[in-house]
Amino acid sequence: MLEVTRLTRFYGDFKAVDEVNFKIDHGEIVGLLGHNGAGKTTIMKMLSGYLEPNNGSITIDNIDLQVDPKKAQLEIGYLPENLPIYPEMTVADYLDYVGDMKGLAEEDKVQEIRRVIRETALVDKLLSPIATLSRGYKQRVGVAQAILGKPRILILDEPTNGLDPTQTEQMRILIKTLASKATVILSTHIMQEVDAICDRALIIRHGRLAVDAGLEELRRSNTLLLVASAGITAVNSALSSLQDELAIEPLPDHTAQANQSPFHYRLRIEGDTNPQKLIPEITRLLVQADIDIYGISQEKRDLETLFREVNTAPVQTPAEETKDAA
């Protein structure tokens, strides 16, 4: 397990990362999201050991990265956004060099190189100079060096950056396969990437952790979609006892002609009430009013909408947060 506690990093007087906390279990694929300058790249560098925090701790299965960096880094595989690959080397020579840098014994290194080239589908490119490879194959070489030595934590910074659609899909499949053997942390600015690969998302805003939740939880909204046989007047009347808990919005785009069934509505739930818990009562009241229900379900948000909401919400100061907590 990876555990991050009160992680903080300054650049001069600027606080780039501000007391970030999270835990990631083995086998999870977690997306780290944020606008440029939000602090996600700084967090990735600290997680990989390339940058020291000014405060806080990072532990990998109880190994503290600051206390025992060599031991901790053996458990980390890192693919930076711009990997310093030596173009004149062949794939085999480069992986051999990386194996030496990771301190692998000769026999183990040979077995590991064989394993990673199979897993990254680089067998046919083993003797090719890296300079001759496509962007997609260069990224595969980057992943191969990251998983050399069987690290338990894989940190991938923009792994599909610059890839064409086919290469992107191949990389997504590869990352999902790798997650069966390691924890994967994926930094990206592409929402579809997170949607396609990740189980959970961490959204960083102004150096602070704004959101930490599973994707299914994030997709759920505070609104219900209702399809019924009655018009707005009858629905409003039937649900009048819930008027303090929900607002009813007709969706005319879903109806070919006015006053013609079925009618589509968005029911916006007020406060912190779980929309799912209101469905039985809404159903009971509509049936009681002889209104047929063709469908009622919680509306799902796309991640781009959520990301926009998070990044346009007012920013609380630490003092305001302390006041709210009290």
Look at the chain and report how many structural domains it folds into. Answer: 2
Residues 41, 155, single domain; the answer is: yes
Beta partners for residue 297, in sequence order:
225
Three-state SS annotation for the chain = CEEEEEEEEEECCEEEEEEEEEEECCCCEEEEECCCCCCHHHHHHHHHCCCCCCEEEEEECCEECCCCHHHHHCCEEEECCCCCCCCCCEHHHHHHHHHHHCCCCHHHHHHHHHHHHHHCCCHHHCCCEHHHCCHHHHHHHHHHHHHCCCCCEEEEECCCCCCCHHHHHHHHHHHHHHCCCCEEEEECCCHHHHHHHCCEEEEEECCEEEEEEEHHHHHEEEEEEEEECCCHHHHHHHCHHHCCCEEEEECHHHCCCCCCCCEEEEEEECCCCCHHHHHHHHHHHHHHCCCCEEEEEEEECCHHHHHHHHHHCCCCCHHHHHHHHC
* 57 is a domain residue: yes
Packing angle, helices 106-119 and 165-178, rounded to 10: 130
Question: Nearest to residue 42, comparing CAs of 76, 10, 83?
Answer: 10
Sequence letter at residue 53: P
Question: Nearest to residue 73, comparing CAs of 83, 85, 63?
Answer: 63
* 324 is a domain residue: no
Residues 224, 150, single domain; the answer is: no
* 310 is a domain residue: no
Give me the phi and psi of 113, to 5 degrees please: -60, -40
CATH number at residue 202: 3.40.50.300
* 311 is a domain residue: no
pLDDT at 315: 61
* 157 is a domain residue: yes
Burial 107-135 (b: 16+ CB within 10 A, else e): eebeebbeebbebbebeebeeeebeebee
Residues 21, 147, single domain; the answer is: yes
Q: Read off the tokens for 257.
A: 């002609």
Range of the domain at 292: 220-301
Residues 120, 59, single domain; the answer is: yes
Residues 185, 240, single domain; the answer is: no
pLDDT at 256: 45
* 211 is a domain residue: no
Residues 113, 176, single domain; the answer is: yes
Alpha-carbon distance 148 to 143, whole Å? 9
Torsion angle defined by CA atoms of residues 240, 243, 246 and 250, in that order, rounded to the nearest 10 degrees? 50
CA atoms within 13 A on the CB side of 274: 4
Alpha-carbon distance 242 to 266, whole Å? 14
List C-alpha distances in Å: 277 to 221, 242, 251, 298.
13, 13, 23, 10
Give me the phi and psi of 11, to 5 degrees please: -120, 100
**pLDDT per residue rounded down to tens, the chain (326 residues):** 899 999 999 999 999 999 999 999 988 999 999 888 889 889 999 999 989 999 999 999 999 999 999 899 889 999 988 877 888 999 999 999 999 999 999 989 999 999 999 999 999 999 999 999 998 899 999 999 999 999 999 999 888 887 888 888 988 998 999 888 899 999 887 888 888 899 999 999 999 999 999 988 887 788 999 999 999 999 999 999 998 999 999 987 554 455 677 999 999 998 878 898 999 999 999 999 999 999 999 988 778 877 877 777 666 544 444 444 44
pLDDT at 321: 46
Which domain-ending residue is among 176, 206, 236?
206
Q: Read off the tokens for 281.
A: 């009562």
